Structure 1
Amino acid sequence: MSSTAPTADRVARADRLAPVEVAEVLALARVAGDADGADPLDEHVLLRLRDPEAPAVHLTARAADNTLTGYAHLDTTTPGDGIGVELVVHPAYRRRGTGRALARGVLAAASGPLRAWAHGDHPSAAALAVDLGFARARVLWQLRRPLTAALPEPTLPDGILLRAFRPGEDDDAWLAVNNAAFAQHPEQGRWTPADLRVRLAEPWFDPAGLLIAEDAATGRLLGFHWTKVHERPGSARIGEVYVLGVDPGAHRGGLGRALTTAGLAYLRDRRGLDRVMLYVDESNTAAVALYERLGFARWSAHVNYHLG
């Protein structure tokens, strides 16, 4: 197959994917992620792929032999805020028009503003975005840190205790703090009870890895550090600062730093990990400064492009 030949792929639209099609998409995403060093579909899309009732538009590209060569996901949950788009092309079928054909399908299927992620800030994605009139609007950095280097001791403010999350008991209080802490965040600040439940049901979830900071006198939840461990066959295990949040009324007491270091110590000492990553908006300068002071350094970038 010539890598420069024009694509003959068929692009099809569907509102639902059969289980076998979902498996094909997940396999394609794994291959692309291994090749690019960045997973092409974020957690939100992966969860929705496994939920047959989740509203979405699916575009699939297939070669003449029916091989899945590309996939695009349109999240139509809140079209007024922009339709979320993620697109991936199999590494063996790139530079032949598959990505552009899927992008044209996205434009034809959308009826409002588009918000498209380019995970890993791949040059081909940037070039396609420019050609189609998308504007670079937001940058999410992945930072990493070795856990073999020294960690500061977590020092909690006076009167605050640290404990593990209690599923079924802490859900509402956790959601309230999360949504208050991320009130201005386009994704994290809008979690519903269903969003939390689906993640608590994930095989990677461990209540011990969701550290809760509470007021010792009142039991009020003031902050949390939710850690995650990524385990993929053939890849080294890595921890993640999955979500770190502090109630707006508990800022300026050093609680965020204490929660961060406590979670890092948990990943190192309890889970036996030697490296950790996290995601942070480039524009969140306070958080970036905190993580850099704790030894994190930039690893990769994920770019959100807007149209309309």
Structure 2
Amino acid sequence: MISLTTRLYKGETDLQAISELLNACEAVDQLDQGVSVSELRQISDDPSLDKMRDIRLWEDANGKLIGIGHLWIPTSGKVINGFLSCHVAPRARNENLERHIITWGKERMREVKQERGLNATLCASAHDQNANFIAPLESSGFKSDRYVLTMRRTLKESIPEPQLPTSFTLRQVKTGQDAKAWVEMYNQSFIDHPNHRDLEVEHYKNHWSNHTYRPDLDLVAIAPDGTFAAFCECKINLENNTHTGRNQGWILKLGTRRGFRRIGLGRAMLLSGMRQLQAAGMDIIKLSVDLNNPNGALQLYESVGFHKLYTMISYIKDI
């Protein structure tokens, strides 16, 4: 059994080791979770993150980083829905370290629950083949509640022409000007999804400073009355593409506001985003979708040529 020690996150001096750990996991798992130091720096600058309490590191007897737990905890809401990210070096995977990380996550969420006086849940996701993480989650009382598919499509094939409803307009998001209207649209688009938590304007603004953010890949559909009705944001991670040898982009966010569904907006926004990635020179496009999405998203993606790549299981536990 591997000897373990745990410690707090030290900031900038830990970023290289964390990047190496996550990329070692990615080399084995192929889940598009590789990350650069600059991306980690951006994540750590999230204003909602308590760096000293929401990140925990585990090292072996030689001081080598072999595990990391990271909690995302919303700063508002009637229920605190925390999310635990767990990464363990491939050579150290045996359920033991995973159990330590899960236990830490539960204890931290109990602290937050007591501090705020609110009910709390803890969520985590695992690849459906990752028994080393699934077994300790289930033995700790976590229950599966969602299945999320990652889907793939080649961009070397033709993409149909997007058709917006009459009098709707398509444009790029104007950073600094559109934040409030965009966030309202986003929250209204996902309010009926499982485990939805409202996005806050300041958190959204922080997203614009990410070095992978590109305004030309961030599209919004405007209704005739000026309402923000639907959106599609795409992402190209050039650093990760260089590291993996892939030439791929992602549909990062796609949604249609309540009251504007079933009129073709979702399909038009999806096709518009796909064309933007194609024009940017990408060969492959990926996205994630809830298997039980209530608005027919899976059927939409399949209709334009996407197919399943792998499945992630979402788990939840009341704290």
Q: TM-score range by the shorter chain?
A: 0.7 to 0.9
Deviates more, 1:123-132 or 1:156-165: 123-132
1:261 shift after superposition: 0.7
1:199 shift after superposition: 1.1
Cα 1:196–1:119 shift into 2, 3 Å: farther
Which residue matches 1:10? 5
Q: Is the 8 A contact 1:204 1:228 kept in 2?
A: yes
Deviations 1:228-254 (A, max 9, x none): 112213221211111112221221211
Given candidates 246, 270, 274, the residue that maps to 1:264 is 274
Which residue matches 1:223? 230
Which residue matches 2:49? 54
Which residue matches 2:116? none
- 1:1-308 alignment, distance < 5 Å: 6-12=1-7, 14=8, 17-39=10-32, 48-51=43-46, 54-55=49-50, 56-77=53-74, 80-95=79-94, 97-111=96-110, 112-119=120-127, 121-185=129-193, 189-215=197-223, 217-231=224-238, 232=240, 233-235=242-244, 236-269=246-279, 271-285=280-294, 286-308=296-318
Structure 2 distance, partners of 1:160, 1:76, is 36
Number of aligned residue pairs: give it: 297
Deviations 1:13-64 (A, max 9, x none): x3x532112332232112111211115699xx95543447722422211111
Deviations 1:164-212 (A, max 9, x none): 2211222221111111111133566511111211111111111111122
Residue ranges of structure 2 left out of the alignment (5+ in a row) = 111-119
Q: Is the 8 A contact 1:86 1:118 kept in 2?
A: no
In structure 1, give the amino acid aligned to 2:162. Answer: P
Give the 3-state SS of the residue equivalent to 1:234 in structure 2. helix
Give the 3-state SS of the residue equivalent to 1:154 in structure 2. coil
Which residue matches 2:117? none
Structure 2 distance, partners of 1:92, 1:132, is 23
In structure 2, give the amino acid aligned to 1:149. Answer: E
Structure 1 distance, partners of 2:92, 2:73, is 27
1:133 shift after superposition: 2.7
Runs of 4+ in 1 over 6 A off after TM superposition: none
Structure 1 distance, partners of 2:268, 2:121, is 40
Give the 3-state SS of the residue equivalent to 1:54 in structure 2. coil
Q: Is the 8 A contact 1:39 1:119 kept in 2?
A: no
Cα 1:70–1:273 shift into 2, 3 Å: same
Cα 1:76–1:207 shift into 2, 3 Å: closer
In structure 2, give the amino acid aligned to 1:282. Answer: L
Structure 1 distance, partners of 2:95, 2:231, is 46
Q: Is the 8 A contact 1:121 1:303 kept in 2?
A: no
- TM-score, normalised via structure 2 length: 0.84
Identity of aligned residues (%): 25
Q: CA RMSD in A?
A: 2.5
Structure 2 distance, partners of 1:97, 1:8, is 11
Structure 2 distance, partners of 1:53, 1:199, is 12
Q: Is the 8 A contact 1:29 1:88 kept in 2?
A: yes
Q: Is the 8 A contact 1:11 1:102 kept in 2?
A: no
Cα 1:52–1:258 shift into 2, 3 Å: closer
Q: Is the 8 A contact 1:181 1:189 kept in 2?
A: no
Deviations 1:115-153 (A, max 9, x none): 122256522222222332321122211111111122221
1:73 shift after superposition: 1.6
Structure 1 distance, partners of 2:236, 2:248, is 6
Q: Is the 8 A contact 2:49 2:73 kept in 1?
A: no
Give the 3-state SS of the residue equivalent to 1:224 in structure 2. strand
Which residue matches 2:115? none
Give the 3-state SS of the residue equivalent to 1:280 in structure 2. strand
Q: Is the 8 A contact 1:22 1:50 kept in 2?
A: no
Which residue matches 1:3? none
